[in-house]
Every structure is written in structure tokens, then in C-alpha cells.
Structure 1
């Protein structure tokens, strides 16, 4: 068996979009991933199906894995022939112990590659409105570890005379030592200082003061690790340059529960508005092979083909391609249940006959009932979980309708998320997402969160679970965002 390879991957400081393109590409090749607590759980979505994922996080007083254990896991899996990803917050070689891991791999003759990441020493302060350098204020910046400041031979006399910005990582527990070391060696006690907790995430908190009073302010604010400490004149710009906390959804961790394929647009919209997004793909959809085959000879006979979701649109037309069906044979009209379904139809070269007034099957059925003639035929390719509203409505009108179960819904990938501890708000876009989230985390866990439903049908399922929620007015993501801005 050939020996595998290890990638030491920097995942950035917390904001999932600060992960590099190379990091995501490399992660998609890994058979095994070891990740720590400072890297966003959201980046695990880039892991390929079947990848083994191990949490190796460390926090004060609690180590899930020692460094020696992590080193040996890297060696062991690589020797088994696996491609291994060691995913770290920030950059692997900036106080990330990546060098130790690389040397251990070298001892065993195991190939490794370093994928640099955006270090928190820069990114966290920039999200707090603090530039590293500024003309007239700081022409350099200097990064130190603050975690072991009591034990390191830091030349405080020299450091206190540096004219640039001083940055201490992981130094919250030694803030007094850092402050006293600088002041006692000549740095002005009125020098601006800041401490930023959990920077680039929804839990980011910034405390600004001076060397003289920063420790007291931090204690009053109740800050906890991880934190970055900055000392220097550039800190005085933090209020003016604070862009991140001005975003409308800043400070909110919002959980998306829909399938991976459908989550992207919603995730990007929320991220642009300043939210931190927890993406739990509680459901996955998959086409049922050959589902349309039994109807292939009759497809040209239908007057209406009702595709009541974006998934139905995509799976229907993809199935036609798989069957090598000539779409010119179709004479059917295609209604749309909502704007997203209409867009999906247009992307396939189909202009919808009409779009329902409301994004529910009842509204689509009413619209179809007004237009369809007795004796016309309808095909409804649907999900296995679809309600029979359309069938009941049309049969009452003496209209022939054939239903075919085109795709199924199953539990999605939820690795990396053992609880909803950091989540503030959960969004539900279908009854199936509600059911799956209750199965995964329990109703009591959801009861502690604010819940938002995309429409009345999803609301009904939430209430059937004994939960309360807000409901969007127009059954769209834009309408849900308006609720989020008020919560």
C-alpha cells in the first residue's frame, strides 16, 4: 500500500468566506479531516461524501486531543494510504503548531503540503475597524503569542519602544502581564488598546480603551477566549472604520436547514447582510432512477405538466436528457408555484403559463382550475412527500391527472454539528426540513431558538411539533430577511 499525503490547511479566522479557494479544493480530495475549534464548522461542507471527520479542538482546560495524539493520527492515516487534511483556524504556521506536525511527518517520510490561511492576527482586527498600519500612526506591525507571555523571554523594554502596532494572540489570560510589561518599560499608559473576542463571527465583541484601563473594561464586558489584543495609535480609528458591526444582521447566527443544492443563494444573501451562517443540510433530495420511463410514451399527450418545486423542474428535465427524449414532442403548458420555480423553468427555456398568486399548492391548484378545460390531461411529477392537494382539486373538476414520484427526500449531511449551541435563529423552508431538524436535534433544542417559516404550510408543521414561529408574508427569502432584521 502506498503512503498517503497530508495537507496542513489554514481555514481563516472564523468567517467561512475567508477560506481560500485552494483550501476548499484540497479538502474535497481528503479521505480524512482533522479540524480544530477555531475553524468554522461551515467549511466541512467542502469535504467529500464519506470523508471521515474528527474534531481535535482545544480550549482552556479541555483538550479533545493532545498534540502528540494529533501528530500520530496524521501519521497513522497517511500510512494507511489516505489523503489527510489537518484543518486549522487562521494559518498553520502562525502559532498553529503546524511546524511541529510537519516535522513529525518528515520524520516518517510522509509527503505534506501547507495551504496558507488568512491569519486572525490581521483579519480579526480589520473586522473590528483596526488597520495594521496607517500613515502617520504605524509603519509596521508586530505579532506575538500572548498565551505563554509569562514564560517567554519577551524583551519588554525593546517591545515597548516599537513604533508600530503591537498584536498579541491568545493573550486574554495574560492581559495584565502584557499591559504591565509595556507600561513599566516606558510605553505611555494612555496608548490606545483594544481586545476583540471571536472576531469575524456573529459573537464578535470589541472593547476599546487604553493600556491604563483596558483590563478593567474587558472584565466588565465579560470577554472570553479566543481574543486578539491590539496596542497602538491605530486603535483610535476603530469607531470610524467599524464596518462589520454596521451590517443589518450583524451579531446573529442564522441556521439554514435546506438541502446543500438550494442553500447557496440563501447563505450568500445572509452573509452579505452580516450574519454568520450555520448551514445544516437537514435534507437531501435524489432523483428516483427511471421514474419517468413508464410515462415516456404519454409525455406528448399531456396538456399541463405541473412542476411544483425547483427540484421537480431540475429532476424532470434532467430525466428527459437521461432518456434522450426529444423535448419538441411536448405540447404541455407549465405553470409555476412561485417565483423561484418560474426562474428554474425559464432557465430550461420554458416560459410559465402562469405563476400562482401564493407560494402554496392550494393557490397553484386554484389557478390551474380556472384555466383548464374538462377532459384535458395533467402530469404531476412530484416528491414522495408531496401533499395530494392538486389531485383532489382536479379530480373534482373531472380532469385526468397522473402523478409520478420523481424524487425522494432523505436526511442530509450534518457532520460537525452536534448541537445548535451557537445558533440564534433557525430558518425553515419546507415541512420536511422541520421534521428532519426535530429528528436530529429534538424539539426542546429548537424551542430555545427563534424560528422563521417561509409560509403557512411550513408553519403548520412547526406548530404540530409544539413550537412557535414567525411567518414570512410573501413566502420568499426576501420576506424572511425582513423578519430577521426585526428579530
Structure 2
């Protein structure tokens, strides 16, 4: 009932009757009619939107959108110089940036600062393998909303500098031989901050549940009645080999893969390899320090000494480097190259895909900041 449709030809007096118009929209698709509408509006000094010719428009309609989640209450209106598709694309990009936390949308006024125990919760967020933009959209949004971020040293840590000033960041990151904050203290920290009514994001590298301590933190929080959400992340076991063009499975080569921690020696790796298919790819995390023992154990268990091996250091960062070798030479090659953690070790015929890429003169672009580095020798 708010609009009356008159299916007839345009009359130049339509602009001024029954009462003077304030906006005219010409969108008939016929140049002669739109010319007449535009001229009539101009003569009456009335704003006219010319849908088919922005250069002849006196006004433009903005692309309008409303924020959601943390951006609720925010409305954006974009005009793109008379280009509606440009306006729409920019509006959508802004809405996504607000939702992901790339824009400062947190309320600073009009909301009570008082919080109660019932509001606190913990979110375990997988930060991915290293590049800041490989965190999930959900993880990025929650990171922007957090009151407290308890962070490891790996993953999307570059995003921490872009958090709101109100966000408190607590670094509990571990490195080989250096654990400044024991795990039980991290568990207690999460519970304590959540009981104070805060949204606590536990930012972890890779995926929280792949050879991490995410399940321990989940169970500890749950045992204290703290609500917990888990946001999965890209595990380095899969994404770091992919960064250099190595698939963990390949049709006709390997139909399965095993992920194992080699931090405590070869026992877990050997047990996993024995229960896997003979052609299964083996992916080792935390495997640099005991690589010699692990390789020797696999050979003794029947793996071919010439099985291809790739060692990928600092995947998805500017320090990414790849060393290609064989199972029997892996430990010596790692020593000669000065391999350092964090690194992912891939054992299996799928490593030859990397050689095929080199033979084609191709590389996999895994990070904008990656510079040229020494190309490894093909396996031969």
C-alpha cells in the first residue's frame, strides 16, 4: 500500500504532480524515454538517478549493509562514483572485514563494563600453520572479540599486534627445551580468566586437537564448569607439505597417511607405521631432534632406505625452507643444512611431486613474503 504502480507512458508533468517529487529514478532501459525523464527532472530541479548512465545522474543510490555479530548496530552505505557494482563489491568487502575483526567494531560506549561469572567462556582457536591469513574466519572474528588472548609462539601470531588496545595478551609459548609456563599453569590461567567473566581465546598453532594440548585444556575447563568452544585450524601436518607442493596422498602412489609425534623418539612413529598401509605417507611433527633414531628405526622395520624425505622448516612464513633427501641420509642432511624447529618431515613417494615441479620449472606460491631460497637437489 505504500507504492502505486501506473502502467503507462511517462508524462513530463509526473515530476510535479500530484505533489512535487524530490527524487526520480529513470530505469526504463530505453534511451529516449530516460532522456525525457532526466530532462524533466533537471528542468524542475529534482534529483534524478539515471540507472543506465551514471555520468548523467544527479544522484546515486548507495549500496547499504548492516553488520552482524560484534559489528551489530553498524550500518555502512557506499557510493562508488556512479558504479553500482563497484559500490556493492566494496560494501561486501567492508562487511566481511567487520565480521572477521579486521576493522575496529568493538563497542567502547553504551555498554556496561560490569561482567559476571556467567558470561565467561574459553575458545580454543587453531591459528593455522604460520601465515596470518590462514586462520579461519570464525577464529579471526573471535580473536577480535576476545578480552584475553592466551597465545602460543606459532600460528597466526602476527594478528596480535592488530587487536584492540583493550585486549590483554598473555604469551605462554613453548620452544624446544624451554617451557616458561607449565601446562598446568596454562590450564589454571584459562579457568581463572573465564571465571572473572571474560571471553578468553586460547590461540594455538595448527589445529588444537592435532598433537597439541587442546584436549587437556578442554577437559580442565569443562571440569570447572567453564563453557568451551573449539575452532579447528589448518594442521601443519597437511598444510606445510602443501606449501611446497607435496601432497600427503596421491592417486596411484599413496592412499593414506600417518601423522605422528617424534618428540620422544621413534617408538610412537614405528607403532603408527606398522599399523598403516605399506605405501602410507608418514608425516612427523616435532621430529627434527630425533630424526636419526626415527629414520634408523623405520629402515630396520622394512622401509626402503631410499624412500624420499622432505623436511620443511617454518612453513608458510618468510623463513620457509625445504630440504629434500632420503630416509638413510635424512639425519646427516638435516645437520648439514642446519635444520631447526619448527619443521615438518614428510616420508614417502609423494615427495617426488616436489621434484616434478622443479623439473617443470614451477614452484608453489605459499606466502607473499617468501623470497628466493636455494632450490634443493632433485632426488634422482
TM-score band by shorter chain is 0.5 to 0.7
Give distance in 2, aligned partners of 1:229 and 1:101. Answer: 27
Using the size of structure 1 for normalisation, the TM-score is: 0.49
**Aligned length in residues:** 252
What is the CA–CA distance in structure 2 between the aligned matches of 1:145 and 1:247, rounded to whole Å? Answer: 26
1:134 Cα deviation after fit: 0.9
Alignment partner, residue 108 of structure 1: 224
Partner of 2:70: none
How far apart are the structure 2 equivalents of 1:44 and 1:9?
A: 13
Aligned to 1:23: 139
Is 1:215 equivalent to 2:331 in the alignment?
yes
Q: CA deviation at 1:32?
A: 0.3
Matched, 1:2 2:104: no
In structure 2, C-alpha distance between the alignment counterparts of 1:134 and 1:153, rounded to whole Å: 21
The answer (yes or no) to whether the contact 1:156–1:185 under 8 Å persists in 2 is: no
For residues 15-36 of structure 1, the C-alpha deviation after alignment (integer angstroms, 9 at most, x for no partner) is 1111110011111111000111
Contact preservation (8 Å) 2:243, 2:366: no
2:346 corresponds to 1:230: yes
1:169 to 285, 290, 300: 285
- What do residues 252-282 of structure 1 show as CA deviations (whole Å, max 9, x unaligned)? 8xxxxxxxxxxxxxxxxxxxxxxxxxxxxxx
Q: Any idea what the Cα deviations from partners look like across 1:45-71, whole Å, max 9, x if unmatched?
A: 453331000111100121221111111
**Residue 150 of structure 1: how far off its partner (Å):** 4.5
Note if contact 2:150-2:203 (Cα within 8 Å) is conserved in structure 1: yes
Pair 1:42 & 2:158 matched: yes
Provide the C-alpha distance between the structure 2 equivalents of 1:175 and 1:48, rounded to a whole number of angstroms.
42
CA distance in 1, matches of 2:367, 2:153: 25
Matches of 1:99 and 1:184 in 2, distance apart?
A: 34
Quick check: 2:123–2:228 contact (8 Å CA) kept in 1? yes
Report deviation, 1:40.
Answer: 3.0
Per the alignment, residue 307 of structure 2 pairs with: 191
Q: How far 1:41 moved relative to its partner?
A: 2.4
How many Å separate the matches in 2 of 1:15 and 1:251? 15
Decide whether the 8 Å contact of 1:146 with 1:170 is kept in 2.
Answer: yes
State the match for 1:243 in structure 2: 363
2:281–2:350 contact (8 Å) kept in structure 1: yes
The counterpart of 2:128, out of the listed 1, 12, 26, is 12
Tell me if structure 2 keeps the 8 A contact 1:12–1:89.
Answer: yes
Determine if contact 1:127/1:243 at 8 Å carries over to the other structure.
Answer: no
Distance 2:237 2:367 in 1: 22
Structure 1: gaps of 5 or more residues: 253-487
Measured after TM superposition, the shift of residue 249 of structure 1 is 5.3
Once residues 94 and 156 of structure 1 are traced to their aligned partners in structure 2, the CA distance between those partners, rounded to angstroms, is: 15
Q: Deviations over 1:427-476 (max 9, x none)?
A: xxxxxxxxxxxxxxxxxxxxxxxxxxxxxxxxxxxxxxxxxxxxxxxxxx
Please give the TM-score of this superposition, normalised by the length of structure 2.
Answer: 0.63
Note closer, same or farther for the CA distance 1:219–1:31 as it changes in structure 2 (3 Å cut).
same
Asked if the contact 1:129–1:240 (Cα under 8 Å) also holds between the matched residues in 2, the reply is no
Query: Looking at CA atoms only, which structure, 1 or 2, has the larger radius of gyration?
Result: 2
SS at match of 2:158: helix
1:119 and 2:239 are equivalent in the alignment: no
Offset at residue 251 of structure 1 (A): 3.1
CA distance in 2, matches of 1:179, 1:119: 23
Name 2:178's counterpart in structure 1.
62
1:32 maps to 148
Give the Å deviation of 1:140.
1.0
Does residue 99 of structure 1 match 2:215?
A: yes
Q: How many angstroms apart in 1 are the aligned matches of 2:230 and 2:367?
A: 34
Tell me if structure 2 keeps the 8 A contact 1:32–1:83.
yes
Is 2:320 the counterpart of 1:200? Answer: no
Asked if the contact 1:165–1:230 (Cα under 8 Å) also holds between the matched residues in 2, the reply is yes
Compared CA separation, residues 190 and 22, structure 1 to 2 (3 A):
same
Other-structure match for 2:25 = none
